[in-house]
Structure 1
Amino acid sequence: MDQASQGQATQTLAELERLRRRTRTRAHGGAWLPALGITALLLASSALYHHPFASTYSISVDSPYWAGLPDEQRDPLASYLFWFLGTPLLFAAVGAWYRWRSRSLGLRVAWPLFVGAGLGVLLLLAVLAAVPTQEHQQPDSLSSSPGHFWLSGLLTPLLPIAAAVVALAWAERSRGLTVAGGWITVLTVWLCGWFPMGYLPGWATDILGGDLTGPLDGSPNSLGGQVDWRPGIWLTLMALPLVTFAAIRGVQSWRAANGG
C-alpha cells in the first residue's frame, strides 16, 4: 500500500471514529433532563420540613421518615403524597422524554430500567412500611441500635431515588451518574441510620482529627460528634453531582446537535 492509500485509510478511520463518538454523544445526550428532574425533586423536598435551613433547638422526628431525612416534617401525609405521587410523575415525564428522543433521533436508551428500579424500590418501601413491627423509640444515646439503624436506613423515599439514579447510570453508560447515585445512597443511609442526623462515631471523629491510634487498635479516643447541618443543606449536597452532570451533559448534547 502506497503512502497516499495509507493516508486515506487513516483519514477514513479517523472520520469513522469521530462519527462513532458523535453518535454515542447524541444517543446519551438526553440524560441531562432526568438528572435535572431528580435534582428539582430533591431540592423541592426541602419544603417538607419545618426548618429546612434555619437552626432549631428541638425537633420531633417520626419514623418512617416520609419527608426523606430524620427531621421535623410539616405534615407526614403531605410528605408521603409528595414522594409517592411526585416520583411516579417524574418517571412518566422522563419516559415521555426518552420516547420523543427515540422517535426524533432513531436512537434508543434502556430507560425502562431507570423507571423500573425506582418504582420497584418505592413499592418495596411501601410494603416494608406496612409490615407491623415493634414500636421503635428514639435512642437516648447518639447512636441507635442495629435494628433501628436498618429500619430507619431503609424506610426513606430517598433510596428509590438513589436506585433510579444508579439504574440510569447503567442505561446511559455514565460514570458520573454512578458516582451521583452512590453519593445519594451513602448520605441517605448515614443520615437516616443514626440519630441525631449527621452523627459521627468516635473512630470517625478521630480520623477527621488526625488521630489514627484509636481506630487502629479498635478503641476510639473520641466519644463521637455531629455534623449539625439542616435538611436543606444535605439535600443540596445530594443534588450537587446531579447538577454538575446535567450541566456537562447538556453542553455536550448541544455541541453534538450543532456539529461541534
Structure 2
Amino acid sequence: MEKRPLILVTNDDGINAPGIRTLIEVMNEIGEVYVVAPDSPQSGMGHAITINDAVYCNHIKTGSDKPQMEYSCSGTPVDCVKLAVNEVLKRKPDLCVSGINHGSNSSINVIYSGTMSAAVEAGTMGIPAIGFSLLDFSHEADFNPSRKIVKEIALQTLKNGLPEGVVLNVNIPKLNSSGIRGIKVCRQAKAYWQEKFDKRTNPLGRDYYWLTGEFVNEDKGTDTDEWALEQGYVSVVPVQFDLTAHHAINELNGWDL
C-alpha cells in the first residue's frame, strides 16, 4: 500500500479556532496528520520566536475517532513549526499547511501574518508549505465551502512540489451566491495600511493607544491578489523568503563605499 504523506498543520488563531478544525479534516482525507498549533490566538505575530521564556508543548487526547496527533504550544506560530519538525514529528513532513486564517493575508498583510510566517518557516526547512486564509472576519464565518479549494491546492503541491525558496499564500474570497469564479496565480498588490492610533487615558491618568487604520490599495493592475479577490477569484501568490532586493545590487555597487 502506498504510504500516505505526512502533513503538519498549524495556524495563528489557536488550536481551537474553526479554521484549523476545517483544515485538519481536509488534510485527514489526504495524509497522516500532525497538528502543532498555538494554545491561544497569535494573530499579527509575524515571524516572532520565543527566546526569553520557556516553550511548552502538550499532547492533546482527541479520541479514537480522530486519527490526527495534536499538540498545543505556548509559543508563536513559528515556534510551533520549529518544535514540530525538531521534536514532535517522526520525520520531516511532506507538506506544511497553515490556517485557515480568519481574515485576509493578501498584499502587505503577508509580512504581519503569523499564518504565513509559519508557512515561511517550514519553507526555510525545505518543506513545501501553504498558508490559507478566508476573507471573512465574521465570528460565524463558514469555512466549509473552502474545503474543495484547500484540498485541490494541497494535492497539486504534493504532486508537483514548489520551486526552491517559495511558499504559497492562498487567499479565498468570502463566498456569495455566485460562488468562486476560479483560481488565479497572482503577484502581491502594492498596498499599505494608513495607520492611526486612538489615544485614550485610563482611570489612573496614564495614556494608552489602540492601533487602527485604513487599507489603501494603490495598485490598479489586473494581475494582483487584491484584484483577483475583488473579482471573486482565489488568489495564489508565490512568496519567497530570500529578501534580497537583487535589482538594487548594481545601483548600490555604484556608491562610494
TM interval, shorter chain, is under 0.3
Larger Rg: 1
- Greater percentage in strand: 2
* Bigger helix share: 1
- Alignment TM-score, normalising by the size of structure 2: 0.22
Q: TM-score, normalised by structure 1?
A: 0.22
